[in-house]
Structure 1
Amino acid sequence: MTDAFDPSAHLPDDLLGRIRARAAGVDRDNVFPDADLDELRAAGYLSILVPAELGGAGLSLEQASVLQQRLATAAPATALAVNMHLVWTAVAKILRERGDDALEFVQRGSADGRVYAFGISEPDNDLVLFGSTTDAVPSGGGYAFTGTKIFTSLAPVWTSLGVHGLDSSDPDSPRLVFAFLDGRDGVVTRDDWDTVGMRGSQSRTTELHAATAPAERVVRTLSLESAPDVLQFGIFAAFELLLASVYAGIACRAIELAAAAVSARTSLKTGAPRREDPLVRARIGGMAIDYDGIALELAALTRDLDDAVDHGARWFGLLSGMKHRAVTVAARIVDEALVAAGGSSFRNASELSRLSRDVRAGIFHPSSPDSAQQTAAAAWLD
């Protein structure tokens, strides 16, 4: 990323301020941030990763990561919801840069304002991208999908849903199918998102009842025995890095709030500002050091992906490790910020209180902590 990149050109300060001002109400009312999405779409944010020749901003993944961190400092739930759209545009970019235009329709649709949601996660599917509990039945050249998807961010507003399922029509050669639904026929969206945090993402459960993707929206059919396809790699890479970006943004905002809180307080014992207390400075300093580590690692890995650096089999461990570090470090930073800010941060009106709930969602996104650790261990033990 060049020094000339200006995040405010794509996410202006005034827009960020309006999103921040709405965040508490969205969380309190447990609703989707429709106004945020409308303004972001009007600003061209949904197509930041789409090539300029297809109507987008043509940004790199590294630049998009910076923007998602910036958005998350204002409204983590909005950033998480938009993330799932950006994942698909990032995958389209990764494929296109490797000579594969299978997702060009996603790029063109994003430039036109369409919203692409992520319908991959399933109950009890620890294979995630490499298996599915959803049935994919051949239908008129396309596929009809029947199954249940969970954590479907953007559930109330998507115009197209990327899904996968298992085609078992040939029992000797079952195949994974990746496709996009361009409408809601056969789709039931449950109104079941009542969670501790990330309430505005409205990541509701989605039921598919023979929901059909036409032939032109079937992106891949893959053997279960094949090595990871570039599509699977692209989804995994984009998902982990953009997800980590959201939690890095939460960590950054927590430090800002903690610094503001200690700067506004004075010790009754010493009469000195709390910011001058060596213990307080050590706490803030530790938070800053932790944050720098995940921010710099994010920059390095997104840049490597942009530059098509070949980490070979190490990529999956690096990506899952990045996500794991980002969410665990962000949670630790928020906890430290609560201590630094004092008892007022325990009130619901406190932004730190909301961040303390939002950051807990990180452990539930793939890769799980156990999965990330097993992937890392394989590089040393297998």
Structure 2
Amino acid sequence: MRTHRTILTDELLAAIHDRAPRHDAENTFPEQDLADLAAAGYLTAFVPADLGGAGLTLEEVAREQLRLAAASPATALAVNMHLVVTGLAAHLRSRGDASVEFVLRDAAAGEVFAFGNSEAGNDLVMFDSGTRAEPVREARDGGDEAVVGYRYTGTKIFTSLAPVWTRLATFGRDDSDPDAPVLVHGVVDRDGTRTKDDWNTLGMRATQSCSTVLEGAYAPIDRVYRRLAPGPNADSFTFALFAVFEILLAAVYTGVAGRAIELGVEAARRRRSRRTGLTYDVDPDIRWKLAEAAMEHDGAVLQVLALARDVDEDADHGARWFAQLVGLKVRAVESSRRVVDLVLRVSGGASYTATSEISRIYRDVLAGIFHPSDEESAHSTVASSILGPLPAP
């Protein structure tokens, strides 16, 4: 029988759940949630045991994120970014690539990682950047110069964990050789960065995903883990990033839908019809809607866990791997939106108040449409995987 290790206790999740409404209303970061998660060892979930962590698999962490998102969608989404950075590092290390082992060691030492990748108007996402990555050179013995690091200048948006991160995984474009530009992926600390106070959103408010301005933020060469040509590539880093990011993102939104169903069941059992005198859990229309939501959610959970297991076990999806990953993200988000909408419809007028949990979940789940990969790029990727690429113009 397959067993799954767990870190999150019911008591911890209940405490996080209780704090969620306040942080949404106040538009504040849940610092106590992060402290409790760190104390429980959750920020080192992916760190291998020999480096001091729990050494969980991607499937096991996806299961945990399903539960954390049900307790607090915003807390789950915020910590998701730390888990993506550490998860891709663990994936690469387990397959013989030590270039990002320093991420795992830093996480074991208590550092909190965030992603500084997204840029306003950059629909190429990870395949190009408007941020400058300027090489820093020093003279060596004999007079030759060597690159000893990079300074990043630009603005990154949607930087979850903005108030608390201590390490930022970011990238920019080095055009010092105009004939051979490269995208430079590295890790910086807070020096040379500035956080904007610009997070006042419809939902996922407690993530505090403020914009980060890079003003010469420095990554020494030992924290630069990839230099890649612009455009799609077959580098193992790119696969690890897409795999962990898309699967854990799908887990968060699927977990939100799971909580919505619980709320729908509670509402159906609590509400009573004036016409029949019976509670709505025996009303055939309400039962149909909740059953529809449950069937939708059951399928979403299974696909998240199945694809996570495939990544863990190096399943062979061949050229369709990226299509599987981006398709999962889009399906999970759209499925979760449908589930939450169904539950809102059966929950009565009280659910429309700003303080109701289902109202907050309804706002939170909408954020899923803004994460990469969006519908357009996902459909393009899937179409190319089954029809072949479009002919050159």
With the length of structure 2 as denominator, give the TM-score of the two structures: 0.94
Q: CA RMSD in A?
A: 1.1
Distance 1:83 1:90, change over 3 A: same
Aligned twin of 1:19: 16
Aligned twin of 2:53: 56
Partner of 2:211: helix, strand, or coil? Answer: strand
- 2:135 is matched with which residue: 135, 138, 144? 138
Q: Take 1:20 and 1:361, find their aligned partners in 2: how far apart are those partners?
A: 19
Aligned twin of 2:105: 108
Q: Which moved more, 1:17-26 or 1:132-141?
A: 132-141
Q: Take 1:268 and 1:125, find their aligned partners in 2: how far apart are those partners?
A: 54
Distance 1:226 1:291, change over 3 A: closer
Q: Take 1:225 and 1:239, find their aligned partners in 2: how far apart are those partners?
A: 19
Aligned twin of 1:119: 116
1:270 CA drift (Å): 1.8
Does residue 156 of structure 2 align to residue 149 of structure 1? yes
Q: Take 1:333 and 1:235, find their aligned partners in 2: how far apart are those partners?
A: 28
Name the % identity. 52
Q: Take 1:227 and 1:120, find their aligned partners in 2: how far apart are those partners?
A: 17
Contact 1:19 1:36 in 2 (8 A): yes
Q: Take 2:124 and 2:234, find their aligned partners in 1: how far apart are those partners?
A: 12
Aligned twin of 1:160: 167
Partner of 1:156: helix, strand, or coil? Answer: coil
Does residue 41 of structure 2 align to residue 44 of structure 1? yes
Does residue 181 of structure 2 align to residue 184 of structure 1? no
1:327 CA drift (Å): 0.7
1:381 CA drift (Å): 2.1
Aligned twin of 2:350: 344
Q: Take 2:129 and 2:318, find their aligned partners in 1: how far apart are those partners?
A: 25
Contact 1:139 1:212 in 2 (8 A): no
Residue deviations 1:145-193, cap 9 Å, x none? 1111000001110010000111110001001110000x22211110100
Q: Which amino acid aligns with 1:363?
A: I
Partner of 1:204: helix, strand, or coil? Answer: coil
Does residue 73 of structure 2 align to residue 76 of structure 1? yes
Q: Which amino acid aligns with 1:281?
A: R
Structure 1 residue runs of 4 or more that deviate by more than 4 Å after TM superposition: none
Contact 2:69 2:252 in 1 (8 A): yes
Aligned twin of 2:250: 244
Residue deviations 1:209-267, cap 9 Å, x none? 11110111010111236733111111111111110110000000000000010011222
Contact 1:179 1:218 in 2 (8 A): yes
Aligned twin of 2:4: 5
Residue deviations 1:320-344, cap 9 Å, x none? 1100011111111111101111111
Q: Take 2:51 and 2:336, find their aligned partners in 1: how far apart are those partners?
A: 36
Partner of 1:148: helix, strand, or coil? Answer: strand
- 1:210 is matched with which residue: 191, 205, 216? 216
Aligned twin of 1:284: 290
1:6 CA drift (Å): 4.9
1:289 CA drift (Å): 0.6
With the length of structure 1 as denominator, give the TM-score of the two structures: 0.97
Does residue 168 of structure 2 align to residue 169 of structure 1? no
List runs of 5+ in structure 1 lacking aligned partners: none
Q: Which amino acid aligns with 1:151?
A: F
Does residue 283 of structure 2 align to residue 274 of structure 1? no
1:365 CA drift (Å): 0.3
Aligned twin of 2:387: 381
1:3 CA drift (Å): 4.0
Q: Take 2:299 and 2:90, find their aligned partners in 1: how far apart are those partners?
A: 27
Q: Take 1:47 and 1:81, find their aligned partners in 2: how far apart are those partners?
A: 15
Does residue 207 of structure 2 align to residue 201 of structure 1? yes
List runs of 5+ in structure 2 lacking aligned partners: 138-147, 389-393
How many residues end up aligned between the 2 structures? 378
Contact 1:186 1:210 in 2 (8 A): yes
Q: Take 2:305 and 2:116, find their aligned partners in 1: how far apart are those partners?
A: 27
Q: Take 1:310 and 1:22, find their aligned partners in 2: how far apart are those partners?
A: 42
Q: Take 2:280 and 2:236, find their aligned partners in 1: how far apart are those partners?
A: 52
Q: Take 2:295 and 2:381, find their aligned partners in 1: how far apart are those partners?
A: 26
